[in-house]
Amino acid sequence: MSADPDEELIRRVGAGDPAAVQTLVARKLPRILSLAVRMLGDAAEAEDVAQETFVRIWRHASSWRRGNARFDTWIHRVTLNLCYDRLRRRREWVTDDLPDVADPAPLPDAGDETQRIEQALQTIAPRQREAIVLVYYQEMSNIEAAATLEISVDALESLLSRGRRALQMILAKDGVHD
């Protein structure tokens, strides 16, 4: 395995170097925030997840050691786990109140293809969404994404294939073409 480009920076963060913390946040925050937004579909929740991710880095930086995965793979895994914690809490939230009925009228920005793609992404299976977000939005290689998801490259490619098909079906039904 090649040297981890973040290893020295993490060592400095673990030693309490404030400049290293600022550099790490500047370097990683946009990708972590993007990942969380795409997984959760909610910018405010994504900001909370990103903040918790960096708190965990700060807490564990002094004990982090390069092992089987690069730091970037580890930080993405932490972010995904925090996203799943939030998604589980959403499912477990029980209420006696009935939900409001959605207005069937199209939203003013319903013609925005990007928004429809983002909405479709929220409806596919979570593991398929993870794979698509990591490869297409986070621009990870299949090998890096598979390591982040702790699966084989073949399993990742299967998730990508099923996820693309699911998105195509949803978007074709909604009138969005790729």
Domains (ranges, CATH) in the chain?
Answer: 1-92 (1.10.1740.10), 110-178 (1.10.10.10)
Predicted local confidence at residue 175, as pLDDT: 65
Question: How many CA within 13 A on the CB side of residue 162?
Answer: 14
Contacts 24+ apart (CB under 8 A), 60-67: 61/10, 61/11, 61/13, 61/14, 62/14, 62/15, 63/14, 64/10, 64/14, 66/1, 66/4, 66/7
pLDDT, position 90: 74
pTM (2 d.p.)? 0.67
Query: Rounded mean pLDDT of 10-33?
Result: 93
- The one-letter code for the residue type at 5 is P
Q: What mean pLDDT do residues 94-111 have? A: 50
DSSP 8-class letter at 39: H
For residue 105, name the pLDDT band (cuts at 50, 70, 90): very low
**Residue 98 confidence (pLDDT):** 47
pLDDT computed for residue 103 by the predictor: 47
pLDDT for 159 equals 93
pLDDT at 16 over 50: yes
Contact call for residues 172 and 164 (beta carbons, < 8 A):
no
Q: What is the mean pLDDT of residues 36-44?
A: 91
